[in-house]
Amino acid sequence: MYANARNRLDTTQNQKFFIGQVAKITGSSVPTVRYYDEIGLLSPAEITPGGHRMYTAEEIWRLKLILTLRYLNFGIDEIKRMLAGDIPVDMAIEWQIEALDIQMRTLASMKSILEQTKQNKGGNDSLSYMHELIESISSDALEREKFILEKMFSSVFPEQFPVEWREIFLLGVNVSSLLEGKLSAAQTAALDELEEMFNDPQIVREMKHDVISFLEVVHLPKISVEMWSARMLTNHKQLLKAAEQQATPDSPVVQENIQEYVVMFADVDELPVSHSFFRRFAERMLASQSENLERFRRICSILYPSLQSYMKTNELFYQALQWKLQQLDKE
């Protein structure tokens, strides 16, 4: 359908349209088209001396694609990266399918609660019954969460990996701070997804292999978990600030952050970090970026909203590692 529409627009390639005409052609609205321009998602072909935005068939086609992706619930950042070619379309589709799976589980859970409440026929007590039902489900979910995390830690980490480091290495934060409060329906659905992952022997073997190969490269810090966690948090905040300021992977602030991060995994008796250690560390980190690990991170960002900022810095971190490796290759 859109291919035919684009072909029809191509016949008027030299024609230019006002923003109101574009909104009408695409079934959108003027504020929406203007908003996409303001955030850099859809720029007009030109702006007249009078300040009018003018669009050609190419911009109209791009807008149709954007509207299609928005209809499919893709986020603005994802659409930007897809159109720029930063995210392969098949990868973005896979992410969206996972998100929809979780949404479907969420809706199914909510529907089940409402149906049980209706069947209870409690009259004026229906709201109380609904509240008690949700409290019970949430309590069960928290118990399941503890069980799944314990299973995850015991199955993924080898015996030689210190117990006190397991939580922070796998999730990046202290898990004990996450096991509080009531889980939402979406978090409960994400928990189901996480349980499925760690019931899959192939995924468990893959993640365990990554941990073992990681241990072959790094030297676990000779400081307390608490002090190391504080350094990790500081490092993360610095990188998040850099990401929010649109810093590039090769910028001094990002590269300094990467160097400080690598130092935390090196032998403190052998500082500064050698190029050979940095190379082995970076190659190991980059090699571990499997589809299942990315899926694990996305699920955890839903289950633990506090991890969402880590997801934002993750891409910049790995791009910076890749850039540094390229520079070492040139030396």
Across 123-127, 185-189, 284-288, 326-330, least confident range: 123-127
pLDDT at 285 over 80: yes
C-alpha dist (Å) from residue 67 to 10, 42, 44, 83, 201: 19, 11, 16, 13, 40
Average pLDDT for residues 268-276, to the nearest whole number?
71
Average pLDDT for residues 43-72, to the nearest whole number?
90
Query: Please, which residues have CB within 8 angstroms of residue 323's CB and are 6 or more apart in sequence?
Result: 249, 250, 255
Banded pLDDT at 56 (limits 50, 70, 90): very high
Burial of 264 (0-12, 13-18, 19+ CB in 10 A): middle
Mean pLDDT computed over every residue of the chain: 80
**Quick one: which of 315, 319, 294, 306 has its CA closest to 99?**
294
What pLDDT is attached to residue 8? 47
pLDDT at 267 over 60: yes
Banded pLDDT at 268 (limits 50, 70, 90): low
Average pLDDT for residues 261-271, to the nearest whole number?
72
What pLDDT is attached to residue 229? 76
| C-alpha to C-alpha distance for 254 and 232, rounded to whole angstroms | 15
C-alpha torsion angle, residues 103, 315, 198, 172 (rounded to 10): -110
pLDDT at 256 over 80: yes
Identify which has the larger pLDDT, 61 or 224. 61
Banded pLDDT at 5 (limits 50, 70, 90): very low
What pLDDT is attached to residue 182? 66
What pLDDT is attached to residue 170? 65
pLDDT at 3 over 50: no
Banded pLDDT at 89 (limits 50, 70, 90): confident
What pLDDT is attached to residue 144? 75
pLDDT at 22 over 90: yes
| C-alpha to C-alpha distance for 291 and 297, rounded to whole angstroms | 10
Range 84-93 contact pairs with CB under 8 angstroms and sequence separation of 24 or more = none
CA 230, distance to chain mean position in Å, is: 23
Average pLDDT for residues 20-44, to the nearest whole number?
91
pLDDT at 11 over 50: no
What pLDDT is attached to residue 221? 67
Across 83-92, 170-179, 284-293, least confident range: 170-179
Banded pLDDT at 2 (limits 50, 70, 90): very low
Q: 292-324 pLDDT, tens per residue?
A: 888 888 888 887 777 777 777 888 888 899 999
Average pLDDT for residues 40-69, to the nearest whole number?
90
Spell out the alpha helix ranges (H) of 121-224.
126-156, 163-171, 185-197, 201-215
